Amino acid sequence: MIELRGIRKSFGQKEVLKGVDLVIPTGSTTCVIGKSGSGKSVLLKHIVGLLHADAGTVLIDGKDVDQISRKDLFDLRRRIGYVFQGAALFDSLSVFDNVVISLVEHGERSETVLESEARRVLSSVGLLPDLTEEGSPLFAREYQILRNKKPSDLSGGMRKRVGVARALVGSPDYIFYDEPTTGLDPVTSQQIDDLIGDLASKLKVTSLVITHDMFSIFNIADHVAMLVDGVVRFQGDVPALRECADEEVVDFLSRYVAEGF
């Protein structure tokens, strides 16, 4: 379980997080919603240790991330897969090199290990046939074609899948997605939502999804937290979100309600 207690963060004079309390239950898919600029990405970066809070604590499975040794922090990072906002693939690198980059950076040199991990994660995100077909000529052919492609050869939806595949390397317990459907058309967005849901149930990962897409929330969330003015203004399940009478929450939801939700 991940627990944030009283997280505060300022940049210069601007206080972005003003005491955020949030619980991400193990096995759940938690969506964090909020307006653009409300501090959602900043919040995520505190959990993975890319930013440090001015006050408050981040506990992952009971351990305070600011109190643990470098080695434990390193191990902890490996348990978290992070799909960056915009998927952020390296354009000059092949799909294969993009996917295995963290393993290579951590010193893995065995081609057998790298290739087999790439096949596994690319299959998990649906860019290759099921792994049970791994020995087949079709699987081998599709893998050879895909592994050598560059991000520019792929559609937006495929690029997102490669970004998700990269996050799955090393079989993390947690996956964090920062706006995974932003910039995608509705059909592709739905496919990425389905993928997030599939991975959560198949791989039993705990997922945290930052989004401002209400369709995604109704599709995938077990648990929703809404960030308003630097604090968590609402936290609960989707039925509770629909019932919530808080003015800010109602205002945020209203444009989607108008579209049939």
Ligand X SMILES: Nc1ncnc2c1ncn2[C@@H]1O[C@H](COP(=O)(O)OP(=O)(O)O)[C@@H](O)[C@H]1O
Footprint of ligand X (CB under 6 A): 11, 16, 34, 36-42
Q: Which is nearer to ligand X, 52 or 255 (CB)?
A: 52
Task: Kindly state whether residue 182 participates in binding Mg ion, applying the rule CB under 5 A.
Answer: no
Among 6, 18, 41, 94, binds Mg ion (CB under 5 A): 41
DSSP secondary structure string for all residues of 3-66: EEEEEEEEETTEEEEEEEEEEE-TT-EEEEE--TTSSHHHHHHHHTTSS--SEEEEEETTEETT
59 phi/psi in degrees, rounded to 5: -110, 125
Q: Which is nearer to ligand X, 37 or 260 (CB)?
A: 37
- Determine the distance from the C-alpha atom of residue 248 to the mean position of all C-alpha atoms in its chain, rounded to a whole number: 25
How far apart CA 86 and CA 154 sit, in angstroms, is 14
37 binds, among ligand X, Mg ion, none (CB under 5 to 8 A by kind): ligand X
42 binds, among ligand X, Mg ion, none (CB under 5 to 8 A by kind): ligand X
Burial (0-12, 13-18, 19+ Cβ within 10 Å), 239:
exposed
β-bridge partners, 178: 210
Nearest one of 84, 83, 85, 89 to 159, comparing CA atoms: 89
Q: Which residue type, as a one-letter code, is found at position 73?
A: L
69 binds, among ligand X, Mg ion, none (CB under 5 to 8 A by kind): none
Q: Which is nearer to ligand X, 40 or 77 (CB)?
A: 40
Q: Which is nearer to Mg ion, 83 or 95 (CB)?
A: 83
126 binds, among Mg ion, ligand X, none (CB under 5 to 8 A by kind): none
DSSP secondary structure string for all residues of 60-77: ETTEETTTS-HHHHHHHH
Q: Which is nearer to Mg ion, 36 or 152 (CB)?
A: 36
20 binds, among Mg ion, ligand X, none (CB under 5 to 8 A by kind): none
Q: Give the per-residue contact string, 1-40, with Mg ion (x = CB under 5 A; - = no).
A: ----------------------------------------
Contact predicate 47/56, CB 8 Å: no
Q: Which is nearer to ligand X, 35 or 150 (CB)?
A: 35
Residues in touch with Mg ion (CB under 5 A)? 41
